[in-house]
Amino acid sequence: MELRVISHPLVDHKLTVLRDRNTEQPIFRRLVEELVTLLAYEATRGVRVHETAIETPVAPTVGTKLDSPAPLVVPILRAGLGMLDGMLRLVPTAEVGFLGMIRDEKTLEPTTYAERLPQDLSGRQCYVLDPMLATGGSLGEAVKFLVGRGADDITCICLLAAPEGIERIQDLLADLDVPCTLVVSAVDERLNDRGFIVPGLGDAGDRLYGLAD
């Protein structure tokens, strides 16, 4: 898996505000969307395109259009939903699938509880959205699920990653003969004993949608 850590002053600024425990929920949501759009700009550098002839008001020329089938964006429920609008702002013609995964708070292992995806993803480029790459289990299983359906090019977009999560997902995907890329705004220090990223930004789902304990 290729790792891309996006270095840009605006990315760093928005991430700093997201980390702040005093950032209110509406601002947090908006900043997640804005940050994802910036990350998606880099994540889609390899999106498949083709040349096409068009007529401008002045003269004929050759431009670029996205290939068909359209890219498939797959947010991992529930926190990944907070990243969807930011991604679609950049790629509005993308199709959207959903994958529901939950992590057992004791074992830290993921379980798939819902999915809404095409049965055949052959020839599809997929973009997986998950705010936090912590233990790496959920994201790794999501990628394997998509490959099992035939996806042949997968890019994962995360706000933050822990070194332990990056190492685990590389191990999980080592045997897959499918190009995979991980795009993040920062790699943090470590995981704590609860499987949370340190310094991180807390539970992204709770900060997006509430329902914290």
pLDDT digits (tens, 9 = 90+) for 140-191: 889 988 999 999 899 999 999 999 999 999 888 888 888 899 999 999 999 9
pLDDT in tens, 21-36: 999 999 999 999 999 9
pLDDT tens per residue, range 45-61: 999 999 999 999 999 99
The reply, when asked if residue 103 is annotated as ligand binding, is: yes
Q: Please give the Cα distance from 38 to 33 (Å, whole number).
A: 9
210 is in an annotated binding site: no
131 labelled binding-site residue: yes
CATH of domain 2-54+64-198: 3.40.50.2020
Is 37 one of the annotated binding-site residues? Answer: no
> Is 67 flagged in the annotation as binding?
no
On whether the pTM is more than 0.75, the answer is: yes
Q: Is 203 annotated as a binding residue?
A: yes
- The residue-averaged pLDDT of 93-98 equals 92
Q: Do β-strands 190-191 and 153-161 pair in parallel, antiparallel, or remain unpaired?
A: unpaired
Does 78 carry a binding-site annotation?
yes
Annotated ligand binding at 27? The verdict is no
Angle in degrees, 0-180, between the axes of helices 81-90 and 25-43, rounded to the nearest 10: 50
